[in-house]
Structure 1
């Protein structure tokens, strides 16, 4: 089991989660973060730190799409291990549903 970043991170990219990760398993795209499931130690410290509630346990239901997205992009995006400012309009995008098709950038 690991944790995965889901839809609500898109266009927000708060990095509070990155700061607390003890194994640096986060990777950064243009407008989204992912977790490498092979590096995540399932400690769970990142989940409550996410202001967008975008981090979920991979044991939750209906996350197959997000598990695959996290796995795929963590192999090609650069590692992030320091907190950064969120995206300029993060608060505006926080809570918008189904952002993947419209806003996700590789």
Structure 2
């Protein structure tokens, strides 16, 4: 099993989660983060650190977010690993997270 970053991360990209990940499985895209399903050990350390509740276990994803399993797997192959906390995107102080059907 793995955890999945979903639409709530898009446009805000809080990085609190990356500092608690014991296996360095987070990757940074331009507008959101992704989890490498091959490296995630399903420890759930990242879940309470996400201020927008964007991270789910893959088996507990709401139906409308299930496509993010594939998005995370694909994007973790082409985006760099992120290991340190960074300033969130400017959008994060807007109207809150969006539920876009696509990522990046």
Shared fold per TM-score greater than 0.5: yes
Tell me, in whole angstroms, the C-alpha distance in 1 between the residues paired with 2:68 and 2:14. Answer: 18
**1:5 alignment counterpart:** 5
Q: Would you identify which runs of 4 or more consecutive aligned residues in structure 1 move more than 6 Å?
A: none
Contact 2:7 2:97 in 1 (8 A): no
Mapped contact 1:21–1:45 kept (Cα < 8 A): yes
Report the Cα distance in structure 1 between the residues aligned to 2:21 and 2:40, rounded to whole angstroms. Answer: 9
- Any unmatched runs of 5+ in structure 2? none
Q: Counterpart in 2 of 1:99? A: 100
Distance 1:93 1:73 in 2: 26
Matches within 5 A, 1:1-106: 1-61=1-61, 62=63, 63-96=65-98, 98-101=99-102, 104-105=103-104
SS in 2 for 1:14: coil
| Aligned-residue CA RMSD (Å) | 1.4
State the Cα distance separating 1:92 from its structure 2 match.
Answer: 1.2
| Equivalent residues, number | 102
Q: SS of 1:67's equivalent?
A: helix
Please report the TM-score for the alignment, with normalisation by the length of structure 1.
0.89
